Structure 1
Amino acid sequence: MEIVHLLRKVTVEFGLRQAEFAARHGMHSTDVRALICLLDAERAGTDATAGWLGAQLGLNSAGTTSVIDRLERLGHLERTRDPRDRRRVLLSVTPRAVELGRSFFGPLIDDTVAVLREFDESETAAVRRFLSAAHQAVTIVP
């Protein structure tokens, strides 16, 4: 149970940093989650649409539209027509938002990466395996 409690402590601290970032920049915590989802989609090569984002966030279409509108108004999100299907609108995080996030979360990420550099390959693999399994255990599948 000690590891479970340590993981909880880490997730609580990450949540507090996320809330601090959101408050500092006039956002709701759901807005930050949306930006994280969009950045993850970009890294994975996934097309992010409003419907996709709503499913990721567990929001209905009205709630999703509110998040998208708010993030666009703040200059953190762009909507562009899909060049392969002009009927679809794709969502992406603006470079300004990426820089804003990097300036706030960069030191935290750098410190975490530095901790991981102290682990050898097998230890890193064990951490990755544990975090992947823990994520799967807490993920709600509809």
Structure 2
Amino acid sequence: MALGKLLRRLNVELDRFNVLFGDAHGLHHTDLNALVAILDAANRREPMTPSRLAAELDLSLSATTALLERLESLGHITRERSSTDRRRTELDIHDSARRVGGDFYRPLMRELGEAWHEFSDEQRETIRRFLLATIDATGRARETIARR
């Protein structure tokens, strides 16, 4: 239970930090989740499509369209036809949004890096495995509840 309570506290602190970014840039929680999903896909060199984003965020296609229109109007994303399948639209983060996000989150990354510096490589690997297992377990629990 102690680990669960600490994860809950971490989640609250990260949410509070993300609210600061959202408030500064007129973004809602779902907007931030969408930007992260699009950015993560781009970093993995995997195309993100509107339908894939809808599935990842558990949104209807119409809600996803409204979300994408809002993010595009704010200049945060681009929507372009796929170079391999012209019927498909692919999403990407605009370079200016990457810079704004990087500038805002850099202090957090610096603080986290300093906090983690005291751990050995072996300890950080254990923490990495713990976090991956926790993310997977949370996803499974969410899916179980969603099926009810």
The match for 1:71 is 71
Superposed CA offset, 1:71-111 (max 9, x none): 00000000111111111110000111111111111110121
The match for 2:80 is 80
The match for 1:25 is 25
What is the deviation of 1:127?
0.3
* Unaligned 5+ runs, structure 1: none
What is the deviation of 1:114?
2.2
Note the 1:26-45 alignment, pairs <5 A.
26-45=26-45
- TM-score, structure 1 length as denominator? 0.95
Note the 1:82-97 alignment, pairs <5 A.
82-97=82-97
SS of 2:88's equivalent in the other structure is strand
How many Å separate the matches in 1 of 2:64 and 2:125? 36
Residue identity opposite 1:110 in structure 2 = R
The match for 2:54 is 54
Runs of 4+ residues deviating >4 angstroms: none
* Unaligned 5+ runs, structure 2: none
What is the deviation of 1:41?
0.6
Root mean square deviation, CA, Å? 1.1
Residue identity opposite 2:39 in structure 1 = L
Is 1:11 aligned to 2:29, yes or no?
Answer: no
- TM-score, structure 2 length as denominator? 0.91
How many Å separate the matches in 1 of 2:117 and 2:42? 26
Is 1:101 aligned to 2:101, yes or no?
Answer: yes
Residue identity opposite 1:91 in structure 2 = L
Residue identity opposite 2:35 in structure 1 = L
Out of 109-118 and 129-138, give the one that drifted further.
109-118
Percent of aligned pairs with the same amino acid:
35
Out of 112-121 and 94-103, give the one that drifted further.
112-121
How many Å separate the matches in 1 of 2:29 and 2:137? 23
